[in-house]
């Protein structure tokens, strides 16, 4: 597996963690809301409210672990991006960039000329 593929897979994993965090956070909010509603219902036993709050705390602990993992993962990915940028800066020469721009402008100019030719028909 190429190094680029490994980093792309790693980036995908980081995105999956972020998506998981979003889903867990939404569930956490719903659990808190549910516990609040349970607490406001007169006939509900205190034990049921306590049980719902235990679920909230457990999910909060899971969220904390995901946040820690995501923090570590994004630091590593950010460092990879910084290193890549430094290597590109080191290797890049202005003449190559100028050549790429000139070639792109030339191709775009040819496309524009082709369009003008077809309009005249």
Residue 49 inside a domain? The answer is yes
Q: Total domain count for the chain?
A: 1
Residue 59 inside a domain? The answer is yes
Residue 111 inside a domain? The answer is no
3-state secondary structure of 22: helix
> φ and ψ at 42, to 5 degrees?
-65, -40
Residue 115 inside a domain? The answer is no
* Digitized pLDDT (tens) for each residue of the chain, 121 residues in all: 577 788 888 889 989 999 999 999 999 999 999 998 988 888 888 898 899 999 999 999 999 999 999 999 889 888 988 988 888 888 777 778 888 888 888 887 777 766 666 665 5
This model's pTM is above 0.85 = no
- Residue 49 near residue 35, CB atoms below 8 Å: yes
Domain extent at residue 66: 3-92
């Amino acid at each position: 597996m190429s190094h680029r593929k490994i980093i792309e897979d790693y980036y995908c994993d980081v995105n999956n963690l972020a998506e998981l965090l979003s889903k867990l956070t939404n569930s956490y909010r719903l659990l808190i809301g549910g516990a609040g509603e349970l607490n406001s219902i007169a006939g509900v036993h205190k034990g049921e409210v306590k049980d719902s709050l235990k679920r909230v705390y457990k999910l909060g602990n899971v969220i904390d672990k995901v946040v820690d993992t995501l923090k570590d993962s994004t630091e590593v990915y950010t460092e990879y991006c910084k290193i890549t940028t430094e290597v590109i800066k080191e290797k890049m020469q202005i003449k190559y960039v100028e050549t790429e721009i000139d070639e792109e402008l030339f191709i775009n100019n040819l496309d524009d000329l082709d369009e003008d030719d077809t309009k005249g028909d």
